[in-house]
Amino acid sequence: MISGYVFIDTDRDGVKDVGEVGYAGGANVITSNGLVAYGTITRNTPAGWEGYWSFPVESGTWIVSLTVPVGYTSYDGLYTAGTSMQKPPLNVTMDLSNLNFGIIALPTPTPTITPTPTPVTYTVKGYVFYDHNENKIFDRNATIPEECLDVPVTINACGIQQPSFNPTDSNWTTDPSSGCKLYSYTCSGGNSCQNVIIQNLPGGYFVTGWSGSDATRPNISGMSGASAYVCGVQ
């Protein structure tokens, strides 16, 4: 009789130490003398006998091997799941025990966590004024003094129509340099922010253009005669 255990070799030394438990999953052990071969599945019960295997064999030279279970490697890492972990040839003249196979579980891979993207937001803002000389510059000292917008308009920004911009509404802040009320709309990265369009202009007015820093995307829009398009923002 030859016998042994398939066990979890915690310290990876190839020796079944006290406290190292048998493999309870049922492993395939094969023994052969070159003429005949026998296979068996290791025990998974009762407690204390997990991983045990045995073969009644005749005297002679026998080779015993273990098919490494899925999710495990040999204690030394030389044999991976599905490969044959083999003992040196045994010259059997009497019962042999403790022909043990030490295995270790593969580490559970740490799942890759995809970070939640931080939404990109920016602000489209500026003021609207009556650009009587059509030079796109707000100038209170022009021949015809230019004035801040004093009627509601609708602004299309960030690719959508925004709530009405009404300069008489106290909720809008005042631009300190011009004294005009500022329109301000927050855009997300998913919206188109290439154009700012003023809609619903007073009769007889059109948009003359815009100026301002592209870095903060302020848009200063003048009105002077009967269309409603402001130049593109890069």
CA angle (94, 95, 97) in 5-degree steps: 140
Alpha-carbon gap, residue 48 to 41, rounded angstroms:
16
Give a yes or no: residue 171 inside a domain: yes
Instruction: Report the 10 Å Cβ neighbour count for 234.
Output: 6
Question: What does R_g of the chain's alpha carbons equal in angstroms?
Answer: 42
Residues 123 and 218 in one domain: yes
Are 205 and 126 within one domain? yes
Please check whether residue 198 lies inside any domain of the structure: yes
Q: Are residues 97 and 136 in the same domain?
A: no
The set of residues, in sequence order, having a beta carbon less than 8 Å from that of 22 and lying 6+ positions away, is 5, 6, 7, 8, 42, 43, 48, 49, 50, 51, 52
Q: Any idea what the CATH number is for the domain that residue 6 is in?
A: 2.60.40.10
> What is the mean pLDDT, run by run of 10 residues, along the chain of 234 residues?
96 95 93 90 91 94 95 95 94 94 92 81 75 78 81 76 83 84 73 58 65 39 38 28
Nearest-angstrom CA–CA distance, 223 and 233: 18
Q: How far apart are CA 23 and CA 103, in angstroms?
A: 8
Q: What is the pLDDT of residue 122?
A: 67
Same domain (yes/no): 123, 19:
no
71 exposure class (CB count in 10 Å sphere: 0-12, 13-18, 19+): exposed
Same domain, 86 and 124: no
**Same domain, residue pair 127 and 232:** yes
- What local confidence, expressed as pLDDT, does residue 68 receive? 96
Note whether residue 110 is domain-resident: no
Q: Is residue 150 part of a domain?
A: yes
Task: Tell me the HSE value of 76 on the side-chain side, using a 13 A CA sphere.
Answer: 8
pLDDT of residue 186: 76
How far apart are the C-alpha atoms of 162 and 171, rounded to whole Å? 15
Q: Which domain covers residue 45, as residue numbers?
A: 2-105
Separation of alpha carbons 199 and 207, rounded Å? 10
Same domain, 206 and 122: yes
